[in-house]
Amino acid sequence: MGVIALNKRNVAIGLTTVLFLAVALGSILMTEWSAGAPADINNIELGTTLFDTYAIAVLMVGFVLFVSLLGGVFIAQEEDEQ
């Protein structure tokens, strides 16, 4: 049968996944995505816009990239042990 054992690791992974998806979905749904014509702005204005207007989205992308990096390292270590 396909019964999954509910040990502490599986529960922690499940809770982390649900929490991550809730935060990601909440960030996507709560962000006001403005649509408009491309603007001619300099780097300072671009940085200000990214970190003032879209700070949560930028942080979420950074978090996703960080978690994927950790996952890649974890998978690489498992392959070395075998």
- According to DSSP H, which parts of the chain are helical? 8-30, 43-52, 55-81
User: Which residues form the domain of 70?
Assistant: 8-32+40-81
Q: Residues with Cβ < 8 Å from 54, sequence gap 6 or more?
A: 31
- Please state the domain count of the chain: 1
Residue with tokens 């879209």: 54
Q: Residues with Cβ < 8 Å from 41, sequence gap 6 or more?
A: 49
In a domain, 55, yes or no: yes
Asked if residue 69 has pLDDT above 90, the reply is yes
In a domain, 1, yes or no: no
Q: 10-39: per-residue pLDDT in tens?
A: 888 889 999 999 999 998 898 887 777 766
In a domain, 59, yes or no: yes
